[in-house]
Structure 1
Amino acid sequence: MNAIDKRTREELLAAINQEIAVRKLEDYRPYTKQKIFHAAGLAHSERLLRAGNQLGKSIAGGAEWAMHATGQYPEWWEGATFNKAPLLWAGSVTGESTRDNPQRILVGPPAVEKAWGTGFIPKSAIIGRDRAMGVANLLDNVQVRHGGGGDVQAGTSVIAFKAYEKGREKWQGPTVDGVWFDEEPPIDIYTEGLTRTNNGQRGQFAIITFTPLLGMSSVVMLFESPETTRQ
């Protein structure tokens, strides 16, 4: 058998890595706590995934938001689903942190436009995007091809990116189908965002992913009542 020369080997490796990069959503396999978090969405309108740094909180949030946006749910999925293209929000503390966390996880490296489509939203599903003003490489929104198979209706989903620093007024406005808070929001931002979902496809629908740094804050206390379901 002929040996593969170095250049050919490098080209093949690059092609393999590219294929892996654009199949991130398909290859997502949650660990137990992430899977419980996802499954809880079927019955619970508000969910909190709280854990230490680098333990997959934002990964879980991004993977779920990409599933809802694309309508591509894996066989193991036991959580909430959307049968029509949803309008979703994803936010964090500042424009920079929104870009560097939710946007990066969903779309790909912010500063490398040619790599957009290597996040959890497959490149083939991204049909448009609008840039935000004031922060380099920050997107205002990304438009995603949704569904088209089985009971899932074809359409265009939108994930809009928000920042807490803009204040509660910037979280007012349209009805949305779900809000993902990546990092703990102030209580007024959280309640305003949740209110946007009241008339969404599933009614109230919000997830929070963060490392607890603010102690028993008002937001944390919402999930510490006797009625709260914990795993």
Structure 2
Amino acid sequence: MKTSAAKTEYLALLAELDRRRRTNLLAAYRPYARQAEFHAAGAQNRERLFMAGNQLGKTRAGGAEWAMHLTGRYPSWWQGKVFDTAVRLWAAGVTGEGTRDNPQRVLVGPPQQQAAWGTGMIPADAILQTTMGRGAPAALDSVVVRWGGGGDVQADESVLSFKSFEKGREKWQGETLHGVWFDEEPPLDIYSEGLTRTNATGGITIVTFTPLLGMSDVVLLFLSAEEVGGMSQNLGSLAPVKRGRGGREADGEGAW
């Protein structure tokens, strides 16, 4: 009898530990070297690019950083940009479906499984409210996120909104933001409009994508003349590139 009760208690404990792990992925996030380099560059650079091949953690890195800014939960190892107040952020993809299936999925959880929302990078206990969009099925328009509230930090609310490039530049006007995340390469006019939204706050833009459009206008923003010249010889070693307000800078051999 005691053995059966102990087993039941043990299984319940394992289930609770698994639930806590699944609903707080941010706590377990540990970047590999290139991701850490990308994050750290935010301390000095308003504009950053993480360009690499498929399935190399670009969107995961963007999602983890956005979750930190939205919640104010920065780990002890963090060396990047820090906001000391609740934030208004955008996350965007090419289409509504692309935004839903990439940034939204990484940040909130599986789009079509609402019961699993809270298993993305934004911890479940920080998601206060979700608002559905009117475009793609299961796509969110916005998420209200609990910011701070630990120790002496007064709790506040951040707002995350989801956008897409296909709506055109006009849909990107008007807002004042702390950050814009482009998960895929945007057209130059969309990128410029997103950057403008962050000017008043001294905010940031991050771009994460696999290069499919060749030497596009947005890619050229982040490259020096020397890098452009050597680009064709280094396709196998893509790396994060960071661009500051007053100049451009690239890390690592073969960086684009």
Alignment TM-score > 0.5, same fold:
yes
Correspondence for 1:218:
217
Distance 1:77 1:222, change over 3 A: same
Correspondence for 1:230:
250
How far apart are 1:230 and its partner, in Å? Answer: 1.4
Mapping for residues 155-194 of structure 1, pairs under 5 Å: 155-194=156-195
CA–CA separation in structure 1 for the residues paired with 2:71 and 2:135: 28
Distance 1:19 1:195, change over 3 A: same
Mapping for residues 33-182 of structure 1, pairs under 5 Å: 33-149=34-150, 152-182=153-183
**Aligned 8 A contact 1:84 1:154 in 2:** no
Report the aligned-residue RMSD.
2.1
TM-score (normalizing by structure 2): 0.84
How far apart are 1:13 and its partner, in Å? Answer: 5.3
Write the deviation string for residues 146-188 of structure 1: whole angstroms up to 9, x where unpaired.
0123574421000100000000001111111100000100101
The gaps in structure 1 that reach 5 residues or longer are none
Distance 1:44 1:153, change over 3 A: farther
Any runs of at least 4 consecutive aligned residues in structure 1 with deviations exceeding 4 A, and if so which?
A: 1-14, 150-153
Write the deviation string for residues 31-68 of structure 1: whole angstroms up to 9, x where unpaired.
00000000000000100001100000000000000000
**Aligned 8 A contact 1:85 1:153 in 2:** no
CA–CA separation in structure 1 for the residues paired with 2:61 and 2:134: 28
How far apart are 1:77 and its partner, in Å? Answer: 0.2
TM-score (normalizing by structure 1): 0.93
**Aligned 8 A contact 1:83 1:152 in 2:** no
Percent identity over the alignment is 59
Q: Which moved more, 1:169-178 or 1:13-22?
A: 13-22
- Aligned residues between the structures: 229
The gaps in structure 2 that reach 5 residues or longer are 226-246, 252-256
**Aligned 8 A contact 1:99 1:110 in 2:** yes
**Aligned 8 A contact 2:223 2:250 in 1:** no
Matched, 1:206 2:221: no
The structure having more radius of gyration, on CA atoms, is: 2
Letter in 2 for 1:218: D
Distance 1:222 1:4, change over 3 A: farther
CA–CA separation in structure 2 for the residues paired with 1:189 and 1:80: 23
CA–CA separation in structure 2 for the residues paired with 1:109 and 1:155: 26
